[in-house]
Copies of this chain bind each other. A is one copy, B any other.
Amino acid sequence: MSTQVEPVAKTLPARYYTDPEVFREEMERFFCQSWVCAGRAAQIPKVGDYFLREIAGESIIITRDQSGGVRAYFNVCRHRGTRIATRAEGNFAGRIQCGYHGWTYGLDGRLIGAPHMDESPGFCREDYPLNKVHSAVWDGHIFVNLDPHPEPLEQQLDDLPQRFAPWGMAELRLYKRMLYEVKANWKLIILNYNECLHCPVLHPTLNRLTNYLGADNEVPHPTYIGGAMGFRNGAETMSVDGQRRRDFLPGLHGEECQKVCYYAIYPNFLLSLHPDYMMTHTLWPRAVDRTEIICEWHFHPAEMAKSDFQANDAVDFWDLTNREDWGISELSQLGIQSRAYRPGPYSGREALLHAFDAVVLERERQSKSRRL
Question: Please, which residue of chain B has its CB at the minimum distance from the CB of A102?
Answer: B201
8 intermolecular pairs with C-beta atoms under 8 Å apart: A58-B338, A78-B344, A80-B344, A81-B344, A82-B331, A83-B338, A100-B332, A119-B348
Question: Please, which residue of chain B has its CB at the minimum distance from the CB of A17?
Answer: B81
A120 contacts partner chain B, Cβ-Cβ < 8 Å: yes
Q: Of B75, B115, B122, B200, which is within 8 A of A338 by CB?
A: B75
Near B by CB (< 8 A), chain A positions 190-218 give 191, 197-198, 200-202
Q: Of B5, B121, B131, B345, which is within 8 A of A79 by CB?
A: B345
A243 contacts partner chain B, Cβ-Cβ < 8 Å: no
**B120 & A344 in contact (Cβ 8 Å cutoff):** no
A231 contacts partner chain B, Cβ-Cβ < 8 Å: no
In the assembled complex, which residues on chain B have CB atoms less than 8 Å from the CB atom of A78? 342, 344
Alpha-carbon distance between A200 and B104 when the two chains are bound, in angstroms: 14
Stretch with Cβ within 8 A of B (4 or more), from A6-14, A154-162, A221-229, A312-320:
A6-14
**A197 & B116 in contact (Cβ 8 Å cutoff):** yes
A258 contacts partner chain B, Cβ-Cβ < 8 Å: no
A322 contacts partner chain B, Cβ-Cβ < 8 Å: no
In the assembled complex, which residues on chain B have CB atoms less than 8 Å from the CB atom of A57? 337-339
Alpha-carbon distance between A7 and B201 when the two chains are bound, in angstroms: 67
**A59 & B100 in contact (Cβ 8 Å cutoff):** no
**B341 & A116 in contact (Cβ 8 Å cutoff):** no
In the assembled complex, which residues on chain B have CB atoms less than 8 Å from the CB atom of A6? 121-122
A234 contacts partner chain B, Cβ-Cβ < 8 Å: no
